[in-house]
Structure 1
Amino acid sequence: MGLDYGTPILVVDDYQTMVRIIRNLLKQLGFEDVDEASDGRAALDRLRQKTYGLVISDWNMEPMTGYELLRQVRADDRLKATPFIMVTAESKTENVIAAKRAGASNYIVKPFNAQTLKNKIEAVCGG
């Protein structure tokens, strides 16, 4: 099964420039249905209103972090199977381990390019 480029994707980051960068990379890869949220709370609201095939979330946000969002998504029976890629500027091993334990499907360290993003998406959504 190849990637479904019609899959709705939710990008979560409190830094608007990063949202724009990820959105542009997704467009380059062929994804058109991209929504955004500025923090974990807004993302949860969106996730409860629309079915997404993938969440790409920053780790460090206020008031709800990407890590807290991930834990909420994994605790929700309706959302728990949603592929979730965590994005962070920190490559600390303990963060990677914490994200994996909380149920992250994959992990990307900033900065990254379209190919890295594509590889991570294929790894979690099937390539």
Structure 2
Amino acid sequence: MRSDAPTVRTLKIRRESAGMTVKKYRITTKDLDVEVEAESREDAIRNFFRLLKVLWHEWKDKIGQIASVHDEGEEYPFRLVPSLYNMGLIDEETAVANLLRVFEEQPTPEAISDAKTMLWVLAEVDRWMTEDE
């Protein structure tokens, strides 16, 4: 690493000096339990997906359909499949198969069509999780 490159510590100090409150959030899913630093639960979710994109090959077998942000004793679940699809980490066929499995549906033409529609709607609703502001 270059000696003039910012470190995690200097980035945190810069955030705090800019008036931003940064705290650690715990995110859990299936066989994965990680901490991310963020200003809010929403930012924690975005940061989780940034990490997931970088560590995809290491983490892909450890994640489930849903993840949760843990904040001050409360748990806030969020969907993973639509965002994985948005990020190009899984294709439409894989995403649809995951949705069918969640809803315990047989892969009939009608169920596949409904799952595709649901995927497209949820991918749009969840787009904020994977787009930079």
Shared topology, TM-score over 0.5?
no
Structure with bigger helix share is: 2
TM-score computed with the length of structure 2 as normaliser: 0.30
Pick 1 or 2: higher relative contact order, CA cutoff 8 A, min separation 6.
Answer: 1
